[in-house]
């Protein structure tokens, strides 16, 4: 059993939730980067607050999702378990500002347009997961953008109450744009972000998240820094 050490950023109230932008950014760093690493080292690499990172690491250590050596450096991470733990507090639909739309010419037209845009975005959800672990054809395109109104105008999307095939989100934190992948001209969110978004989605999304996690376990080197 690990002996708990008092970290360099003490806090009388240990972190109990991974809700919020700081915790989400820290969690993403912990799972995206391959250990071993120290708090200051990882904070510098991932632009994370050292204090927040230390508290998230402490929470995950208490729940046996990572281990630290005698100097406090993280030496092993159960990244699958960490993502599942994050999904208890993070939820795509409520953690981000989202709006539903219809791409009248379908998702293929959406991806064609996305391949030509000059502004920042990251594709996530079912459509993005297909690039890593193809399963049933995606029925919903989900993307992060900085400005929903501008993106909708340029992508020719129509806001609707039914027949939705696109979800556009302004993200909880710019970390969704970090460690992205470029495939077939599309900018895809990191597999860790896509997996979390799917696990907290509706319908068949959680099962698609499980499929992506299975792919990630068999292909860790390509996605983990």
What DSSP string describes 81-105? HHHHHHTTT--HHHHSEEEEEE-TT
Q: Does pLDDT of 165 surpass 70?
A: yes
Residue 183, CA distances (Å) to 5, 123, 131, 137, 166 in order: 43, 11, 7, 17, 19
Residue in the block written with tokens 């994370």: 48
Same-domain status, 142 and 82: no
Backbone angles phi, psi at 216, to 5 degrees: -65, -40
Q: What pLDDT score was predicted for residue 12?
A: 58
Q: What pLDDT score was predicted for residue 146?
A: 97
DSSP string, 110-124: HHHHHTT--S-EEEE
Average pLDDT over residues 191-218: 96
Single residue among 58, 86, 114 that ends a domain in this structure = 86
Average pLDDT over residues 23-39: 97
Token pair for 49? 């607050």
Q: Does pLDDT of 54 surpass 50?
A: yes
Q: Does pLDDT of 11 surpass 60?
A: no
Q: Is residue 13 part of a domain?
A: no
Q: Is residue 16 part of a domain?
A: no
What is the number of structural domains in the chain? 2
- Residue 76's domain comprises 21-86
Q: Does pLDDT of 3 surpass 90?
A: no
Same-domain status, 195 and 99: yes
Beta-sheet strand order (sheet of 181-183): 158-159, 97-102, 166-170, 141-145, 121-124, 186-188, 181-183
Do the Cβ atoms of 32 and 73 come closer than 8 Å?
no
Same-domain status, 166 and 209: yes
CATH code of the domain covering residue 46: 1.10.10.10
Average pLDDT over residues 133-140: 85
Q: Does pLDDT of 2 surpass 50?
A: no
The span from the CA of 16 to the CA of 98, in Å, is: 26
Same-domain status, 125 and 140: yes
């Amino acid at each position: 059993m690990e002996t708990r050490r008092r970290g360099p950023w003490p806090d009388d109230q240990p972190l109990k939730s991974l809700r919020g932008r700081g915790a989400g950014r820290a969690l993403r760093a912990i799972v995206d980067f391959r250990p071993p690493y120290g708090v200051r080292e990882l904070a510098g690499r991932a632009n994370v607050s050292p204090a927040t990172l230390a508290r998230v690491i402490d929470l995950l250590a208490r729940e046996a999702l990572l281990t630290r050596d005698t100097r406090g450096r993280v030496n092993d991470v159960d990244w699958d378990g960490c993502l599942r733990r994050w999904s208890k507090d993070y939820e795509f639909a409520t953690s981000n500002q989202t709006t539903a739309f219809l791409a009248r010419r379908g998702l293929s037209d959406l991806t064609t347009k996305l391949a030509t845009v000059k502004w920042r975005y990251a594709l996530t959800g079912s459509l993005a997961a297909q690039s890593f672990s193809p399963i049933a054809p995606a029925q919903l395109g989900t993307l992060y953008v900085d400005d929903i109104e501008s993106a909708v105008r340029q992508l020719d999307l129509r806001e609707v109450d039914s027949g939705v095939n696109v979800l556009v989100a302004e993200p909880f934190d710019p970390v969704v744009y970090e460690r992205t992948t470029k495939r077939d001209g599309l900018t895809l969110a990191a597999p860790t972000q896509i997996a979390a978004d799917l696990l907290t989605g509706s319908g068949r999304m959680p099962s698609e998240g499980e499929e992506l996690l299975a792919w990630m376990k068999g292909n860790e080197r390509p996605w983990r820094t």
